[in-house]
Structure 1
Amino acid sequence: MLFYTTSILVLIIDQLSKYMVRSTLDVGETVYIGTTQLTHYENSGMAFSLFQGYARLFALVAILFVVGILYYRMHEAPKGKLLNTALGFLVGGAAGNAIDRIIFGRVTDFLVSRSGKGILNFADHAINVGIVLLLMHGIVQYVVGKWGKREAK
């Protein structure tokens, strides 16, 4: 249940925020909410605006990723809240950007990084959180495995 709740919440927050940006800001327009800079940007490529014009291809990759995770979940039933949360963030983020790529042929970005060197959206941040949680899960599994081997000796 945690996986589905996380995925759906990420997807809803991502799509609502992108809708609000598209409906209130022109492309290239910037506003500030406190110290947070929002700039409406449309990206038809992937991270760091690489491979512009291949949005539909990246949508297919995202769909295959989501299907792969769902297949894994159906056959392996991942254990643990951390892993299920990580997969939920990854699937919600991938689905959010895939929807943009399919419907609009590009992804709406608007969250300007503090360094000013990138513009992301909530789906991108969710994918980053999912990766960090997945790494944390791997570290925990490794440590638990090491401790288990010591206890068995």
Structure 2
Amino acid sequence: MLFYLIAIGVILADQAAKWAVRSNMQLGESIPVWSGHLQFTYYENSGAAFSSFQGYGKYFAIVAVLFVVAIFYYRRKGELRGPVLEMASGFLVGGAIGNAIDRILYHQVTDFLVFGSRGGILNLADLAINAGGLLIVVHLLTGQLKRFAFKR
């Protein structure tokens, strides 16, 4: 259940935030939110991370769909069990679907979050994907630490 709550929450929050940006900002407009730490800048990315592969975004929608299918497959097999992997897979699926919706409907992804002066530009789906990846790392590290502790 945790998986579905997180995935649906990420999709809804991501799409609502992107709609608000598209409805209330001009492309390229920046709004400082937290001086030097966070600003909203409306950008449309037709590629992948770091604006790479511009114009090929529609292919990343296919990759996202295949990724989501793989997550459901491994969940069904019982290989993604436990609260940390439930949360991780929920964040990953929610983020992948959030960006895939943009790629399918608009042929590009709406980005708007800029952290710090050197940071790239992200959206909530990207943050969710990062959170999911971080939770997988936490899961792997805690598993290794548990094995190490039991060997002693």
TM-score, normalization by structure 1: 0.93
- Measured in 1, the distance between the counterparts of 2:109 and 2:118 equals 19
Unaligned runs of 5+ in 1: none
Taking the aligned partners of 2:81 and 2:103, their CA distance within structure 1 comes to: 32
How far the C-alpha of 1:80 sits from its partner, in A, is 1.3
Distance 1:39 1:4 in 2: 30
2:127 maps to 1:125: yes
Give the aligned partner of residue 22 of structure 2.
22
Q: How many residues align?
A: 150
Q: 1:133 is matched by which residue type in structure 2?
A: L
TM superposition shift of 1:77: 4.9
| Aligned amino acid, residue 94 of structure 1 | A
After superposing the two structures, state which structure 1 stretch, 63-72 or 31-40, moved more: 31-40
Amino acid corresponding to residue 24 of structure 2 in structure 1: T
Q: What residue ranges of structure 2 are gaps of 5+ in the alignment?
A: none
Runs of 4+ residues over 2 Å off in structure 1:
32-36, 145-150
Q: Matched residues in 1 for 2:112 and 2:9: separation?
A: 19
Q: CA offsets, 1:48-76, max 9 Å, x none?
A: 00000011100100110011001111112
Q: Which is further off, 38-47 or 27-36?
A: 27-36
Indicate if the aligned counterparts of 2:96 and 2:129 stay in contact, CA closer than 8 A.
yes
Aligned to 2:102: 100
Q: Distance in 2 between matches of 1:77 and 1:47?
A: 28
What is the CA-CA distance between 1:31 and the residue it aligns to? 1.4
- Distance in 1, matches of 2:119 and 2:79, equals 39
TM-score if structure 2 supplies the norm length? Answer: 0.93
Distance 1:61 1:69 in 2: 12
Pairwise CA distance, 1:40: 0.3
Instruction: Determine if the alignment matches structure 1 residue 8 to structure 2 residue 4.
Output: no
